A and B are shown apart, each in its own frame.
Chain A
């Protein structure tokens, strides 16, 4: 067992639920309220020095009444020791947990992915948007157990919504790397970029009505 587990229990008391070892990895279950405090302590304390955040992910178990877990895979580059933290999120209240972006900038996209797939909200995240699915995706959170494998909509509706999405809408100007040049690009390009920043699904009824108006 990784000695960090007992150090955590000593430092944070009842915020630590339990600890176990599995396949040589130590797993520490914690309550979600103090997660950033715990992560910060593990990162900054000299004897711990878990300075590298490998991954953030989440897991939902078959027991749909049971809690979800947000998993933090930590690694100490100096001591070469891994540690897995699991924050227990009960499902009877909104799925929310504090964001770790202030500690690791790399947590940004990892938390976006967890938000995209599980619908867990990270409080204090600078830019919490979907990252894998497109922004106008309306079927829910695909990795939740309640999500049907083929999605909630019919295939034709899925194709329609997908084709209605704007392929350029997934990237912010920062991600496109031209944010600094925004004011230097030609006006028409600026306009196109501004238009493409967020996607919009065309409402078929509205467009059909418009067509009928045009015909009449």
Chain B
């Protein structure tokens, strides 16, 4: 339906009152990012107490659905954002890597809590010292565990990040398969990221 113009006796033009705007102009980036940011489907990867806070975030009081995320995707193939809620043991590293690889682009990762982000209090033989040594991470949410407000803030930050993306830069969506050393970054970088810090430096007494 277009605009209907009716000629009048006075020579002017009356634009029909039933006009409804059925088109608009916008930037494609804005439109795509608007759609992506407001319909993030999370893949919950809950391994520990952070998952309880994540469930609280999804439940009625904090209501993740307000941000278009009410549909938890328990299959990585229909997921947009991987939320690692909890510590990641080495035994689960190949699992989260496979889940990440199975997710279609565009995809993002939120590292929820101290353990997922840095190993947290678990600076020991069994724990990955930050999931960013295994999968790329977009937003780190600190806390032990973070309150639902914290996770929501992280999600809002992710939405802000998505709104700033552009289709003109395909490198954002590039996949980086694991190299021959099965690492996504050079080994010395992994060692540097995994260095003990904070309270965990005192653990060397028994090491």
Q: Name A residues whose Cβ lies closer than 8 Å to a Cβ of B.
A: 132-134, 139, 142, 147-151, 154-167, 170, 202, 204, 207-208, 211
Contact = CB atoms under 8 A, between A and B. Distances in A.
B183 A207 contact: no
Contact of B94 (A133, A148, A149, A166): A166
B104 interface: no
B98 A167 contact: yes
A208 B183 contact: no
A151 B133 CA distance: 17
Interface residues of B, number: 32
A150 B124 CA distance: 4
B134 A163 contact: yes
Contacts of B178: 163
Contacts of B90: 134, 158-159, 161-162
Nearest to B183: A160
A158 B123 CA distance: 13
Contacts, number: 86
5 contacts: A150-B123, A158-B90, A162-B93, A165-B91, A204-B182
B91 A134 contact: yes
Q: Which 8 A-B pairs have the closest CB atoms?
A: A156-B187, A151-B125, A155-B194, A162-B90, A156-B190, A163-B182, A162-B93, A149-B207
Contact of B183 (A148, A149, A159): A159
A157 B190 CA distance: 9
B188 A156 contact: yes
B134 A159 contact: yes
Interface of B: 90-91, 93-95, 97-98, 123-126, 128-129, 133-134, 178, 180-183, 187-191, 193-194, 196, 203-204, 206-207
Contacts of A170: 91
B203 A160 contact: no
Given A163-B94, A208-B180, A142 B125 contact: yes
B125 A207 contact: no
Nearest to A142: B125
Contacts of B206: 149
B143 to A, nearest CB: 23
Contacts of A147: 125
A142 B126 contact: yes
Most B-side CB within 10 Å, residue of A164, A165, A167, A211:
A167
B164 to A, nearest CB: 30
Contacts of B91: 132-134, 162, 165, 170
A148 B196 CA distance: 14
Nearest to A211: B180
